[in-house]
Amino acid sequence: MYIFELRSPKKRKMKAKYLERRGFTNPKQVKTGKYAFHFEVEVDDSDLKKTIRRCKRRKLSYFYYDKQFARATNYRRRFFDAYNPPYRCQYCHKKLNENTVIVDHLIPVDLAKKSPKVQRLIINSGLDGVNDVMNLVPSCPKCNLKKGNKMGIWYIRGKLGYSRLYWFIRGLVRLVFAAAILLLLASVLNFFLNI
Ligand SMILES: [Zn+2]
């Protein structure tokens, strides 16, 4: 199954009916900005070439990807079914509850849709698509906003977030650092008091 994203460079106010009349079944309008939108249609593997030809004939701009790389509508439910509270942000370890947790795609959907390299990573990681529960992690709103569609260091942090040892070492390093600052402050204070 493939998802086709369709836009019409000519007909800016294209309606679903326009596409239906031209053989696209069940087009769904998807808002992408205040005024921007595109349509999405699901296409069987056997209809792929036919659909590409149809898009070209109608001069529609199109972009398609395997459905396993599309955002599922029920991914939040899947996450809550698979993981019980309490939750901790995968990236900063902040405590979260069911109301404050954001379910984040560790490998972002946007990259999964567009990048063949990321698609290979998903397949090679043994994930059943981008909405596999192993790719869904708890995140606080702040980290989620900062992460956006990034991979790189965020992917590494997300992977490390599974390890208790990582959080233990991280906590220890912070504690040592805080102690060092306190000692420094104390010695500075001591120096001035002794003048
Ligand atoms: Zn966080």
What's the domain count of the chain? 2
| 87 in the same domain as 55 | no
Whole-prediction pTM value? 0.81
- The one-letter amino acid at 63: F
- The torsion defined by the Cα of 92, 103, 82 and 75, in degrees rounded to 10, comes to -160
Domain for residue 139, yes or no?
yes
Ion ligand 1 neighbours, Cβ < 5 Å: 89, 91-92, 94, 140, 143
pLDDT at residue 142, as a whole number: 96
97 CA distance to ligand 1 middle (Å): 13
* 48 in a structural domain: yes
Rounded distance from Cα 91 to ligand 1 centre (Å): 5
Parent domain of 65: 2-69
> Do residue 109 and residue 38 come from a single domain?
no
| Beta carbons within 8 Å of 118's beta carbon, 6+ residues apart | 107, 111, 112, 151
Going from the Cα of 75 to the center of ligand 1, the distance in angstroms, rounded, reads 20
Query: Of the residues 15, 39, 69, which one is the last residue of a structural domain?
Result: 69
Would 185 be classed as within a structural domain?
Answer: no
Query: Which pLDDT value is given to residue 11?
Result: 78
- The CATH number that applies at residue 47 is 3.30.70
Does residue 193 surpass a pLDDT of 90?
Answer: no
User: What does residue 92 show for φ and ψ, rounded to 5 degrees?
Assistant: -130, 0
Task: Note the pLDDT tens digit of each residue in 37-52.
Answer: 899 999 999 999 999 9
pLDDT at 178 > cutoff 80: yes
